[in-house]
Structure 1
Amino acid sequence: MNACNSKDRHTIKGRGTRSNPAVRFDQHRTEAFDDGWDLEEDLPTLRTEVSIERPRKVITRNTSPDLSFDRSLNPYRGCEHGCVYCYARPSHAYLGMSPGLDFETKLIARPDMPALLEKELRHPSYVPKTVAIGTNTDPYQPIERDQQIMRGVLQVLCDFDHPVGVVTKGALITRDIDILAPMAKKGLVRVGISIATLDDKTGRAMEPRVPSAKTKLRAIKQLSDAGIPVRIMVSPIVPALTDHELETILEATANAGAVAASSIVLRLPLEVSVLFKDWLAEHFPDRAERVLGRVRELHGGKDYDPTFGKRMTGQGKWAELIQQRFKLKTRQLGLDRTLPQLRTDLFQVPLKSGDQLSLF
């Protein structure tokens, strides 16, 4: 895997990072160097590549004590949104690809997911519980417009009356209101919309292919008007950069129709730390040290502390202050509610073509 900067070989536009850190599992490293041939040339634009993966199973299980779900689905590996802070970036290393530009340009789609999901839900031993989608990479990233894997997954879950929680930064989710609204009416779905900033300039730099805050607020209203409960997720809160927007984001989303809220502080696991530091130096050099100092304060003096119960909220005085501000504002806006559990008692396995109808 090449460890050099892809900006030396391509024109990069609309990407969250400008480099491809080496894959931590590789034994060999290569670096770019000046060979003395200073010839001007038109470099090609770095395009998104999509490859196909055909897994045997699609439901992933977890036992993390600070997660509210025990199973999830991921229609895609990698994410074209290009959020520089994305905690899922290191997962690309397991595929032999860099968590940098590879993560946002070399994507993997799983078109068989709807059919495989149906097969798993039909298994006689399957016990329904809420399945989470969007907890790793975004199911409504730009390539979903063409792939439509997420829509197929939702249709299967709807056919089985299976509960689902969806998390996204995208506005494409409004395309699927025709599926989500009937499910919401039965108490089978809720949606989390993630907003890190309302400032377009900061947003374009930090998450270049994520829809604007205005577009996401409009999506929240459309979903809410359709009867679909929306939780706003102020995530990530970046100290000394976006933390001052906390109350404003909560107010804007409450006005758009959100019914609950949560927040997560910035996390910088593994390669994300290097990528984020480089990004800060390029876009906000005047406050880079202040931001990183606060981040380390949040995580016990390190760039990141993965300890359960601390990794989402951080620790220390600054973390406590953020939580106090969050609790006060959500209480004022009525966003501090606990949403009811999604229903599992409606789950049923629909008849396949050719199945005999029951007499009872």
Structure 2
Amino acid sequence: MPSKEFLKGRGAQKNTSNRFLQHVYEMREDFLEFCRLEGEEAESNKTKYIPIFPKTIVNKVDSPDVGMGYSMNPYQGCEHGCIYCYARNTHEYWGYSAGLDFERRILVKESAPELLETKIKHKKWKAQTIVLSGNTDCYQPAEQRFEITRKCLEVFLKYRHPVGIITKNALVLRDLDILKELNKHQLVGVNISVTSLSEKTRRKLEPRTASIQKRLKTIQVLSENNIPVNAMLAPMIPGINSHELLPLAKAVADHGALSFGLTVVRLNGAIGQIFSDWIKKAMPDRAEKVLHQIQDCHGGTLNDSRFGTRTKGEGKIAEQIHEMAHLAKKRYFKGKTFPRLNMELHNQYKDGQMRLF
């Protein structure tokens, strides 16, 4: 049974120290006891939206492990609260914690559509797929309120520019009208993250995400509209969801996905501490076993930052995961391919309308 201390509705169960800050903020036991006796909350669990004003929005991705050249993130921080999320560490650059702050302090870039338009209209820019959500989910709950992602998709359509999307939220179907228009010109591909077929597991790992059934339905609806879908069965966590790889692959294939990708979980930076604290509270009966199996995939440590191996893992457990993935592709995805996006149209539309000469 989960610990009584478990904070429902959030992934992380505490705020870790920010490695870039000189001072450490801690809540003392006597203060917590005082709040309890007074019937007061020690801190608010509500999400705060904080506007920020970046100078640029499109980021070049240099990592050889990620599989994208450029990305953009309308939001920093993510209310989905996925406990394993590698993006947590980036919240420290903004002066926040990678723990609860990452889920409760969402930085909002309302100028993103204008910044994107400036970028792709630049005379030196040549069309390359820009991925929405290389870091944090562009369809997280904040999108219902701000609609920044939708406005960015309108920019991509206006300038006939290729765009990729990564999400685990069914909210992407709200923008089906724009996605269908983009797809007429082969300008969009969608990646839907599906990490488990068990709602119990999903609620623990990813507390504020769409249900598994909604995600599978999202894949189905997109596929029925001929919008190409790749399923991200990631991360695979030994002892939690790695045994589901084959049924997961079958499920996404049955619902229309053309391909799938995966990674083996890695707990770099502050995530190792956050995940370890979480699993001892959420799954105390198997905590040590899971942590040891993750270590077995990364040379005896939770933190692996080596290019080429950090997302694949190594050792027997990682090898078994990749062998199952190979089998799944042969069994469920034979003859299917995820199409290349169209890079040829954008240059004709840089001024907002097709050039005649």
Matched residue of 1:327: which SS?
helix
Higher relative CO (Cα under 8 Å, sequence separation at least 6) belongs to 2
Matched residue of 1:231: which SS?
strand
Task: State the match for 1:226 in structure 2.
Answer: 225
Contact persistence 1:12–1:45 (CA under 8 A): no
Contact persistence 1:260–1:335 (CA under 8 A): no
Contact persistence 2:99–2:274 (CA under 8 A): yes
Matched residue of 2:204: which SS?
helix
Contact persistence 2:267–2:302 (CA under 8 A): yes
Q: For 1:34 and 1:131, how far apart are their aligned partners in 2?
A: 47
Task: State the match for 1:349 in structure 2.
Answer: 349
Unaligned runs of 5+ in 2: none
Q: Does 2:73 match 1:78?
A: no
Q: For 1:84 and 1:345, how far apart are their aligned partners in 2?
A: 39
The C-alpha deviation readout for 1:301-359, integer Å capped at 9, x for no partner, is 1112111111111111211111111111121112674423211011133545xx9x966
Contact persistence 2:15–2:101 (CA under 8 A): yes
Report the TM-score when normalising by structure 1.
0.92
Q: For 1:253 and 1:185, how far apart are their aligned partners in 2?
A: 23
Contact persistence 2:16–2:97 (CA under 8 A): yes
Task: State the match for 2:242 in structure 1.
Answer: 243
Q: For 1:67 and 1:116, how far apart are their aligned partners in 2?
A: 24
Matched residue of 2:164: which SS?
strand
Contact persistence 2:113–2:152 (CA under 8 A): yes
Matched residue of 1:332: which SS?
helix
Offset at residue 91 of structure 1 (A): 0.4
| Residues 196-275 of structure 1 mapped to structure 2, 5 A cutoff | 196-275=195-274
Give me the identity figure in percent: 40
Matched residue of 2:262: which SS?
strand
The C-alpha deviation readout for 1:22-51, integer Å capped at 9, x for no partner, is 111111223222337462404275111001
Contact persistence 1:261–1:335 (CA under 8 A): no
Q: For 2:291 and 2:92, how far apart are their aligned partners in 1?
A: 24
Q: For 2:172 and 2:355, how far apart are their aligned partners in 1?
A: 36
Q: For 2:264 and 2:295, how far apart are their aligned partners in 1?
A: 12
Residues 313, 321 of structure 1: CA spacing in aligned structure 2 closer, same or farther, 3 A cutoff? Answer: same
Task: State the match for 1:147 in structure 2.
Answer: 146
Specify the code of the residue in structure 2 equivalent to 1:214. Q
Report the TM-score when normalising by structure 2.
0.93
Task: State the match for 2:88 in structure 1.
Answer: 89
Aligned length: 349
Task: State the match for 1:24 in structure 2.
Answer: 19
Matched residue of 1:83: which SS?
coil
Offset at residue 204 of structure 1 (A): 0.8
Q: For 1:317 and 1:60, how far apart are their aligned partners in 2?
A: 36
Specify the code of the residue in structure 2 equivalent to 1:324. E
The C-alpha deviation readout for 1:58-113, integer Å capped at 9, x for no partner, is 11112222333221111000000011111100100011000011000000111111
Matched residue of 2:230: which SS?
strand
Task: State the match for 1:3 in structure 2.
Answer: none
Task: State the match for 2:129 in structure 1.
Answer: 130
| Residues 17-56 of structure 1 mapped to structure 2, 5 A cutoff | 17-35=12-30, 37=34, 39-43=37-41, 45-56=44-55
Contact persistence 2:116–2:152 (CA under 8 A): yes
Offset at residue 132 of structure 1 (A): 1.2
Offset at residue 284 of structure 1 (A): 1.1
Task: State the match for 2:178 in structure 1.
Answer: 179
Matched residue of 2:29: which SS?
coil
Q: For 1:185 and 1:335, how far apart are their aligned partners in 2?
A: 25
Q: Does 2:111 match 1:109?
A: no
Q: For 2:86 and 2:334, how far apart are their aligned partners in 1?
A: 26
Specify the code of the residue in structure 2 equivalent to 1:280. I
